Amino acid sequence: MADKTKLSAAEIAALPYRPCVGVVLTNGAGQVFVGQRIDSEVPAWQMPQGGIDKGEDPTDAAFRELWEETGVSSDKAELLAITSDWVNYDLPEHLVGKLWKGRYRGQTQKWMLMRFNGDDRDVDITQPPAEFSVWAWKTPDEILQAIVPFKRQVYEQVFAAFEGKI
């Protein structure tokens, strides 16, 4: 098997994007749920997100990912809005061959804005396989400062799409 960690620029450009969803879970006070990735050696806060299973509706995938990553059940989250367009991002070149078995150049994401209707005791980030080591409510501006640089433009687009609704 070829070493997928050393792809040429042309090979990377030929790869597809991984279909994915993301969730902007707001607590109604202008704050958004973020978690610190458990597998990162550097601060890497992110909102819940994950792949869409074959044949799965993006909205269903968003509620599934929300449950898997935060323990928040669908009765504690109300869907408010969905981005009209898919939002793409490319992985940094050094990560392309290491993530998702080297099959994707990045992700194409449909983002969902959801209002959290529970309380903090309803959040459980310890469900296996845990993706976050710690979580917090942060403002969009705080999140933009804490996000890994290659995802910042995506988050800027998502927050702009949901402006006035968070």
In the prediction, which pLDDT does 97 show? 67
Low pLDDT (below 50) residues in the chain: 1-3
pLDDT at 98: 66
pLDDT at position 2 is 45
For residue 1, what pLDDT is reported?
37
pLDDT at position 10 is: 85
Predicted confidence at residue 5, as pLDDT, reads 55
Encoded tokens for 114: 């959801």
- Residue 3's pLDDT is what? 45
Cα(58)–Cα(19) distance, integer angstroms: 9
CA neighbours within 13 Å on the CB side: how many for 65? 25
